[in-house]
Structure 1
């Protein structure tokens, strides 16, 4: 009898422990991280754009928190993705430039930590790291940059298959298919990597001409003369000179020889070509030259860019609808971010790279039911090294010591309390030079008001901006009257950040930098 009672009590306790563990696992939130490419925050309605059509991203912002100062640590695609996976600066994760470097998958990758903590993980869509995914139960990714039309995908073990359709639609279909077939006894973490809005901006057929009735106002600094900013003057990323009529804007495109169009079906190409044949006639018919041609290029650039973003937004809406209809919304965190910002004519540019605001800041929106206040904003300086530890924190997974970022979950839960101990400045370091856009390597510090940067590798010059009085960064105050104390303070803080993040290369350059 004693044996039976003991056995019963033991079984009961084990059942209770098991039930509690199961309940804990079930309560762990699912996490979907939607990650776009080159999508500028200033191209989103929720960030103030009144002409862009982004109803679904805007919906996410209304239901979650919009970060107004989410900053990347190296404004370029591959390195930003490496930072997402590692929570570390480029000099620590080994991926500094967009080149043939193989991303080191032997280092700590936060999705693998989620797996060890009971999560089912997947990456679907664009990865762009010259390596196959590690730390994911399932993956199906675009090779390299991928194609907008009828794209190839690489899936386990290493099979490449072509799929018919537009890339944003295909990525969403794969994502919902995986969600349908996942192990429902586990919480999940899913990265949805979109190709849009990467150059050369090929809109979906249904979005051709979506902005043809819109006249976009020129940015106030479109005709920037780059006075006092040598690095900005010597770049090669202007709409006027760098943006290509044929390849970028599809004016008299070579549909037979240009690889951009070799994926189109005859039916797709007919519709696409018919639209751009009309566009191609405009410069000659209007006899455009000089500034008139430059401004026409700007209009066409924005029309193509935002039309391409339409498919991105529409597919975010499809995924949000799936989450709602599947009964997942109450226990699923949804994040939207881009790999960095992008220039939409500011300073006369397209592309990214510079420490200036448009490429330094990236959109980031998070909806966390029961935790975040719907429609709120977070103005604190958050870095992309913080993304990985925040996701780990949300999932109840310990953050390892080699991750350099810090979870901003406390800011989401108790912003008024947590902001007192949050960072007051942010560190940035860009490397890729001279190709493809001749942007000199540089590092710098961004505070809530000031920005100090040093361009090296031939530029060898300092720049200082007061973002309160000069938000478009047109007046370099370095060396100006009464700037000495500000510069000394910022240089001291910059050096401290270099030491904190162990950027020895930058410390050596700083020691030799011109005063």
Structure 2
């Protein structure tokens, strides 16, 4: 069973007050900073320091590096939607690259708050690069676009552009910065190059780089024994010589492609410096997902293992972000949106599940102990809880996984079945369940309800998943359970304190037999029940 993820745990007490006061002082001294968010495409977390020296020096070294940063869904479109909304994918609904994002994003709210907004590069795979109204300036790239002589949508007009894509996008970003000078507003810019996504086409001047690159052969490369992994992986053959050669070529060309991106980012930062705006601009750097170079016999992305889910994340903003700081606490793509809201002096919406990274710059700041990582490969979906040491994974209709990243950083030994880890598995399983079962107001801005109600599930009948909605008029302990027609308890979905509001919970039943069941809601002295039908 899996459920909708839920409410962001807000900062409380003195810390939250301190953040608000600090933000107020910041905006009084330097009202509303400019904001630049750089999202690369399929870039691994370990391809900055020795591959992009200018970016390392000018963004990471001059800002904060988040050394334990993760992508909550390691796939292009869901991850980008999480960046724009601050929400887990199971909450915003974008689960694969064909899904469309139907929610408003922080860009909508920045534009409404008076920002001059722009996007240069890739938006979402599911979109055709047609301009979005929340952007004042738009240069869109089709998700399957090419690197040489691409077709771009420039403010609503499709144009053939001769040249190399990364450098063309650099020039458009600089054009945006020049237009922003005359807008008399703070600016926001998404700079989203395609680099280093397929097709692997480096700039002509960079094709000779890394000719003598040593092979990448970490301990988990082409893993010899995957019998402890889920079935989809344990049945996968080892990479033969042609595949190994192909992976080595992918790696070399990705590194070659990052060289032109490094030069382009340097030029954009130089333009900001020339305009006197560099230190008044909050600059975020992140990739949408990582990439496998043969680890665990894998290539590509979208899986739970570290090369796919780790992110190179940095924030450069001298008024707040200490230069050269290495932050080791858990950070994620969902944290960018709330950080931007706070920097812009806007209220963080209730539905946001990430946390403002600015809290990490406060002394003795409280912070998360775990993250939810989730993904939906066909018939192989997974949900995982990731702490600073452990990752515990529940795979669809398959064995669970547990890795101790201190003792086993290459995730070679699945220790979920080790009796010595029974207590640890129980704890992590409970933490994962808590992340999955916390429910959230379906419409966060609607007034508090005046009645108690259990609504009919939808769809009904259903095959494997349905949504149960209910209304609570005041904060109180809520118990939601499912029974068979003989009164036997099937499962307890919720048993805890719930805030007032309209709530929605996704009930997945991949193994529940066909039949009629009763779902019953108790809240204080009130009780209601209804019937649901499983029909496959």
**TM-score (norm. length: structure 1):** 0.77
Tell me the residue number matched to 2:388.
448
Structure 2 partner of 1:394: 343
Q: Which residue of 2 aligns with 1:126?
A: 122
> Is the CA contact 1:62–1:374 (under 8 Å) kept in the aligned structure 2?
yes
Does structure 2 conserve the Cα–Cα contact (< 8 Å) formed by 1:124 and 1:141? yes
Aligned pairs, number: 421
The answer on whether the counterparts of 2:125 and 2:142 sit within 8 Å (CA) in structure 1 is no
Q: How does 1:168-317 map to 2 (within 5 A)?
A: 168-182=166-180, 183-224=182-223, 225-231=225-231, 233=233, 240=239, 291=241, 293-317=242-266
Aligned to 2:292, the other structure's residue is in SS state: coil
Judge conservation of contact 2:63–2:315 (CA < 8 Å) in 1.
Answer: yes
Partner residue, 1:116? 112
1:432 to 362, 365, 377: 377
Higher strand content, 1 or 2: 2
CA contact (8 A) 1:84 1:387 kept: yes
After superposition, the Cα gap between the structure-2 partners of 1:110 and 1:97, relative to the gap in structure 1 and judged at 3 Å, is: same
Asked whether the equivalents of residues 118 and 189 of structure 2 are also in contact (C-alpha less than 8 Å), the reply is yes
Q: Which residue of 2 aligns with 1:151?
A: 150
Over residues 171-199 of structure 1, what are the superposed CA-to-partner deviations in whole Å (9 max), with x where a residue is unaligned?
11001001101244211110001100102
Looking at structure 1, the residues matched to 121 and 303 of structure 2 have their Cα atoms a distance apart, in angstroms, of 27
The aligned counterpart of 2:532 is none
- Given that 1:30 and 1:187 are in contact with CA atoms closer than 8 Å, whether structure 2 keeps it comes out as yes
1:453/1:508 CA distance change after superposition, 3 Å:
farther
Change (3 A) 1:342 1:120: same
The alpha-carbon deviation at position 58 of structure 1 amounts to: 3.9
Correspondence list, 1:14-29, <5 A: 27-29=31-33
Which segment drifts farther, 125-134 or 197-206? 125-134
CA displacement at 1:223 relative to structure 2: 2.5
CA distance in 2, matches of 1:475, 1:54: 35
CA–CA distance in structure 2, aligned partners of residues 490 and 108 of structure 1:
33
In structure 2, the residue matched to 1:464 is: 402
> Going by fraction, where is helix more abundant, 1 or 2?
1
Cα 1:71–1:153, aligned 2, differ >3 Å: closer, same or farther?
A: same
Aligned-partner SS, 2:100: coil
8 A Cα contact 1:239 1:298, kept in partner? no
Q: Secondary structure at the match of 2:428?
A: helix
Residue of structure 2 aligned with 1:356, choices 305, 312, 330: 305
Whether the 8 Å CA contact 1:126–1:146 is kept in 2: the answer is no
State yes or no: 1:367 paired with 2:312. Answer: no
5+ residue gaps, structure 1, are 1-22, 241-289, 435-439
Looking at structure 2, the residues matched to 359 and 501 of structure 1 have their Cα atoms a distance apart, in angstroms, of 28
CA displacement, residues 48-73 of structure 1 (integer Å, 9 cap, x when unaligned): xx5x3543234311101111111111
* Residue in 1 that maps onto 2:435: 497
Partner of 1:36: 40
TM-score, with normalisation over the residues of structure 2?
Answer: 0.74
Give the one of 413, 418, 423 matched to 2:368: 423
> Contact 2:77–2:97 (CA<8 Å) still a contact in 1?
yes
CA distance in 2 between counterparts of 1:447 and 1:504 reads: 30
Note closer, same or farther for the CA distance 1:340–1:217 as it changes in structure 2 (3 Å cut). Answer: closer
Q: Which has the higher contact order (CA 8 A, sep 6+)?
A: 1
Distance 1:53 1:118, change over 3 A: closer
Contact 1:122 1:190 in 2 (8 A): yes
Alpha-carbon offset, residue 367 of structure 1: 0.5
**Residue 313 of structure 1: how far off its partner (Å):** 1.4
For the 8 Å contact 2:79–2:333, the answer to whether it is kept is yes
Where 2:423 maps in the other structure, the secondary structure is helix
1:99-145: CA deviations, max 9, x gaps?
2x3331xx231111111222111111111243443422221110223
Kept in 1, the 8 Å contact 2:290–2:309? The answer is yes
Partner of 1:68: 67
Give CA deviations for 1:308-327 in whole Å, capped at 9, x if unaligned. Answer: 11111111111111111221
The CA RMSD over aligned residues, in Å, is 2.5
The worse-fitting range, judged by mean Cα deviation, of 223-232 and 376-385 is: 223-232
CA, structure 1 residues 209+231, in 2 after alignment: closer, same or farther (shift >3 Å)? farther
**CA distances 1:210-267 after superposition (whole Å, capped 9, x unpaired):** 010222341222120312002462587x993xxxxxxxxxxxxxxxxxxxxxxxxxxx
Q: Is the 8 A contact 2:247 2:294 kept in 1?
A: yes
- Distance (Å, rounded) in 2 between the aligned partners of 1:495 and 1:88: 17
